[in-house]
Amino acid sequence: MADRGSSQSTPFQLGEEEMGSPLPGFPGKSPGGMVKRDTLFFTAFACLVIGFVAGIVFSVYKLPGAAGFATGQAGAISNGLSPEQARVMESLERAVAADPDNVQAWTQLGHLYFDTDRYQQAITAYGRSLALDPENADVVTDLGVMYRRNGQPEEAVTSFERAIAINPRHETAHFNLGVVLLHDFNDRVGAINIWRQLLELNPVAYAPNGQLVSDLVDDLLAEL
């Protein structure tokens, strides 16, 4: 998965990164270990942008977050947001308060919470977005990343499986599901199977660190 999470010292550290839904290319983003939605490269020519916004996703572009945006810069304010992020967050929160059926505002707000590591708030915002547009596989994938970061791997698995059910060709959801199965449930066979499905969709899919998913699968098979 491309995006946020903390890396661990294991042979599959790269695979531990989750990523958000891919933009019109495929990338995901990742602050620590998981591949986040705007930092993951799924194809040799696909660059990450923002994760789930246009497809992490990218139906909507996400604001920079902890994965390489304003965090820690001189302009950051006490609550961890840059002045621009704070303005946008306030605007989006006003928008959803005035119009609870504004799916775009809920989605963008979820992305901003995602990028600033506000896991529970992101889960709530994505939930409101999906209540209005339940077939958005990118948002469902981003929701899964937030569940995993929030210490809810079972819900993460459910979300990634739901995203795949909506869009069987969703590469980010496949990759992230393998990450959670492998690192949270020690289910090597499950991870191998889901990553093999990913490779059927994209034989040159690779993890955020640049390692081919096919190599990850081969390494796992060698350890069985």
pLDDT tens digits, residue range 107-125?
A: 999 999 999 999 999 999 9
Of all residues in the chain, what percent carry a pLDDT higher than 70? 65
pLDDT at 188: 97
User: With 60 as the cut, is the pLDDT of residue 132 above it?
Assistant: yes
Q: Hey, what domains does the chain have and what are their CATH numbers?
A: 14-223 (1.25.40.10)
Average pLDDT over residues 131-144: 98
User: With 50 as the cut, is the pLDDT of residue 133 above it?
Assistant: yes
User: With 50 as the cut, is the pLDDT of residue 82 above it?
Assistant: yes
Count the Cβ atoms, other than its own, within 10 Å of residue 142. 39
Q: How many CA atoms lie within 13 A of 96 on its CB side?
A: 19
* 74 contact partners, CB below 8 Å, separation of at least 6: none
Could you read off the pLDDT of 157-176 as tens digits, one per residue? Answer: 999 999 999 999 999 999 99
Count the Cβ atoms, other than its own, within 10 Å of residue 176. 38
pLDDT at 79: 64
Average pLDDT over residues 140-151: 97
Average pLDDT over residues 68-95: 66
Average pLDDT over residues 91-110: 96
User: With 90 as the cut, is the pLDDT of residue 27 above it?
Assistant: no
On average, the pLDDT of the chain sits at 74
Q: Is residue 132 within 8 Å of residue 151, measured between CB atoms?
A: no
User: With 80 as the cut, is the pLDDT of residue 31 above it?
Assistant: no
User: With 80 as the cut, is the pLDDT of residue 48 above it?
Assistant: no
User: Which among 215, 217, 221 has a CA at the least distance from the CA of 194?
Assistant: 217
